[in-house]
Chain A
Amino acid sequence: GQQLNQSPQSMFIQEGEDVSMNCTSSSIFNTWLWYKQDPGEGPVLLIALYKAGELTSNGRLTAQFGITRKDSFLNISASIPSDVGIYFCAGQGKTSYDKVIFGPGTSLSVIP
């Protein structure tokens, strides 16, 4: 079935550094979503991408929908301590009847 892979699995960075993470799939998706999960909370949507090649920003976050439709990237600039958490990518297939599939997550730790 459809499966998403995320890399890296975990990251430890200094405050102020930029962060890059990516998500890949063997299947084509028509929607890519990036979520952040704080400890003990449900995931919260950060950015949604609907078109191949699309580049979208949300504050210090920028995400891109890969041209092949099989990957997506999330960048965080000038990281701060509250960026700590788990970042999940998710994809949805061709129609709005397709279920949303989640990747295993990238755990981000920011060292002050």
Chain B
Amino acid sequence: NAGVTQTPKFRILKIGQSMTLQCTQDMNHNYMYWYRQDPGMGLKLIYYSVGAGITDKGEVPNGYNVSRSTTEDFPLRLELAAPSQTSVYFCASSYPRRPPVMNTEAFFGQGTRLTVV
């Protein structure tokens, strides 16, 4: 199993350009997440999805969009890139446990380092 795979690993964008960060997982996990990590900081949740066709906003969703048409893929879209979106982006996935243990842990991809100039 490859786990969680993110592409590209690095990208430089000009202000106003758009791009899609790809994320795919082969673990048949229901839940997928997008986080951003600014230098020296923790992880901020952008969007998450509890299953195909279902997405919800996290802490910092502005300037981003997501879709979840399949269980495997959870792309993150930046429509009008801004310097404030310079960050490292991590995709993660997790699976629901059976009762009585209902909670779970997230597995991360290697990250996409994005610079907006």
List chain A positions with a Cβ less than 8 A from chain B: 1, 30-31, 33, 35, 40-45, 48, 50, 88, 90, 92, 95-105
Contact = CB atoms under 8 A, between A and B. Distances in A.
A92 B101 CA distance: 12
B93 to A, nearest CB: 11
A41 B110 contact: yes
A24 B111 CA distance: 27
B105 A42 contact: no
A93 B43 CA distance: 17
A interface, by DSSP: helix, strand, loop or mixed? loop
Interface in B39-97: 41-45, 48, 50, 56, 58-59, 90, 92, 94, 96-97
Contacts of A102: 35, 42-45
B111 A41 contact: yes
B117 interface: no
B58 A99 contact: yes
Contacts of B20: none
A35 B108 CA distance: 10
B45 A101 contact: yes
Contacts of A103: 42
